[in-house]
Amino acid sequence: MPGTRPRSRLTALLAAATSAVLGAGLLAGAATASAEPAPSPTVEASAEAEAQAGSKVIGYFTEWGVYDRNYHVKNIETSGSADKLTHINYSFGNVQGGKCALGDGFAATEKAYTAEESVDGEADAWDQPLRGNFNQLLKLKELHPDLKVLWSFGGWTWSGGFTEAAKDPAAFAESCHDLVEDPRWADVFDGIDVDWEYPNACGLTCDESGPEAFGEVVSALRAEFGDDYLVTAAIPADASEGGKLDATDYAGAAQYVDWYNPMTYDYYGAWDAQGPTAPHSPLTAYEAIPDASFTTEATIAKLKEAGVPASKLLLGLGFYGRGWTGVSEAAPGGSASGPAAGVHEQGIEDYKVLKERCPATGEAGGTAYALCDGEWWSYDTPETIAGKMAFKEREGLAGTFFWELSGDTDDGELIHAID
């Protein structure tokens, strides 16, 4: 994901320093008077289960967002996002010394909230045992009893610790269970999400644990947490020959996870400072695309062909854009002089900012782009999300996930486009 996760690489580093750092529709024939018997309860239950299969809506909430971004758990409620979400991925916990560890303990468990800032309008007391994001998430779950929260570990900045963890998966899994189920916040989390960037491949650091290591880690987590907890994972979207998806046996490991979140964004960006400009989250290939394997369609096809069930794959969205400056060509494929300016990081900006600063002027590969005063940006809009939702339905995917909540508008414009 871009982030520490960074959604973006630099954001992750800054965040670390600051913090101390997608239902498959059922096709049914038209009903005819009394020509056919009513479906049995078993058939009805099966139909309901299938209809719900693609209804997962999972949003990442960033721990460090309570600082410069001023985005708090209450914003999930006031934006209407909580009514759309089925799951929240709380990011990120750290991985250190082969164990799961707290990320920013102050933000997670200690930060005091005033009545105005709190989800339920009640201020934190100075002596209450749990404050911070964790307590606010408990309050949000009280308002939305069906909402589930998973604790995501790793991310771009903290994935280096998985190499050590993979040496003793059982000990790692035990440490994660002990942390997630710590009595102080045992009611907050309903599972664990592994965000290893990347197993047997390179991200911020390189891992050489081998193609089976990821499966051994998630197998140990499933054994430790059991079937009553969710075990999920964010995985790469690189569908190129010999790329990151080929480096690990994701199909073999799929039996241990409830679902995968393929990170179908950040395919392109201003780390290639001179361009060519390209949408960072294309659904499909288009004429000028630099690499036809860098699309959501290609990623999902590769994973399904490898044997990962569609019912364990979600469609990934980015609630942000990536951009270049020094661009004169409106269509994708132009040259650039470097990354465009962003509020929090060069080359990346929230949707809520871009929709006003640089409104979309065209579409390519099923996503939007814009040229404004020499800056070229690509990002998803409610209209392009609708196209991606149609793709999700056609492919029978389990739902949608996105990075991340604070990039949306105050009234949740993007999340309300997800169905």
Residue 17, pLDDT score: 37
Q: Is the pLDDT of residue 419 over 90?
A: yes
- Per the listing, tokens 């470097």 go with 338
DSSP state of 97: T
Mean pLDDT score of the chain: 90
Distance CA 392, CA 262 (A): 13
Catalytic residue among 197, 297, 349, 413: 197
Strands 367-372 and 362-364, sheet pairing = antiparallel
Q: What pLDDT, on the 0 to 100 scale, is given for residue 1?
A: 67
39 contact partners, CB below 8 Å, separation of at least 6: 47
What's the CA gap between 83 and 278, in Å, rounded? 34
DSSP-derived secondary structure letter, 251: H
Which pLDDT score is estimated for 155? 98
Q: For the segment 96-132, what is each residue's pLDDT rounded down to a tens digit? A: 999 999 999 999 999 999 999 999 999 999 999 999 9
The residue whose two tokens read 């793709």 is 391
Instruction: Please indicate whether residue 372 or residue 15 has the higher confidence score (pLDDT).
Output: 372
User: Using one digit for the tens of pLDDT, what is the confidence trace for 123-158?
Assistant: 999 999 999 999 999 999 999 999 999 999 999 999
> Looking at 34-38, 41-45, 301-305, which range is the least confident one?
34-38
pLDDT of residue 125: 97
Q: Per-residue pLDDT for 371 more than 60?
A: yes
**Residue 355, SS3?**
helix
Cβ–Cβ under 8 Å, residues 201 and 244: yes
d(CA 225, CA 12) in angstroms, rounded, equals: 28
Question: Is 74's pLDDT higher than 60?
Answer: yes
Query: Which pLDDT does position 71 carry in this prediction?
Result: 98
Helix, coil or strand: residue 218: helix
- Report DSSP state, residue 408: S
The yes-or-no verdict on residue 42 having pLDDT over 50 is no
Where does the pLDDT of residue 54 fall: very low under 50, low under 70, confident under 90, or very high at 90 and above? low
The length of the chain is 419
d(CA 379, CA 409): 14
Q: Which DSSP state fits 93? A: E
pLDDT in the model for residue 53: 55
DSSP 405: G
Residue 72, C-beta contacts closer than 8 angstroms, at least 6 positions apart: 65, 66, 113, 117, 133, 136
To the query of whether residue 122 is one of the catalytic residues in this protein, the response is: no
CA atoms of 375 and 370, how far apart (whole Å): 8
Q: Which fold, 41-263?
A: TIM Barrel (3.20.20)
Is the model more confident about 302 or about 33?
302
Q: What is the pLDDT of residues 298-320, one digit of tens each?
A: 999 999 999 999 999 999 999 99
pLDDT at 305: 98
Beta bridge partners of 358: none
pLDDT at residue 26 is higher than 90: no
pLDDT number for residue 27: 29
Rounded Cα gap, residues 337 and 355, in angstroms: 23
One-letter amino acid of 243? G
Query: What is residue 15's predicted lDDT score, i.e. its pLDDT?
Result: 39
pLDDT in tens, 184-218: 999 999 999 999 999 999 999 999 999 999 999 99
Q: What is the pLDDT of residues 172-181, one digit of tens each?
A: 999 999 999 9
Using the structure block, give the residue that is written with the tokens 């009903």.
Answer: 31
Q: Which helix (DSSP H) or strand (DSSP E) does residue 375 occupy?
A: strand 375-379
| CA angle 165–168–172, rounded 5-degree value | 55
Contact 323, 351 (CB under 8 A): no
**Confidence at residue 78, expressed as pLDDT on a 0 to 100 scale:** 98
pLDDT in tens, 229-287: 999 999 999 999 999 999 999 999 999 999 999 999 999 999 999 999 999 999 999 99
Cβ atoms of 285 and 297 closer than 8 Å: yes
Task: Note if the bond before 106 is cis, omega within 30 degrees.
Answer: no
pLDDT at site 50: 45
CA–CA dist 328, 336 (Å, integer): 8
Q: What percent of the chain has pLDDT over 70?
A: 87
The number of beta carbons lying within 10 Å of the beta carbon of residue 334 is 18
- Residue 58 to residue 237: CA distance in whole angstroms: 18
CA distance linking residue 139 with residue 120, whole number of Å: 7
pLDDT, residue 35, reads 34
Domain segments of the chain as ranges? 41-263
63, 261, 279, 6: CA torsion to nearest 10: 20
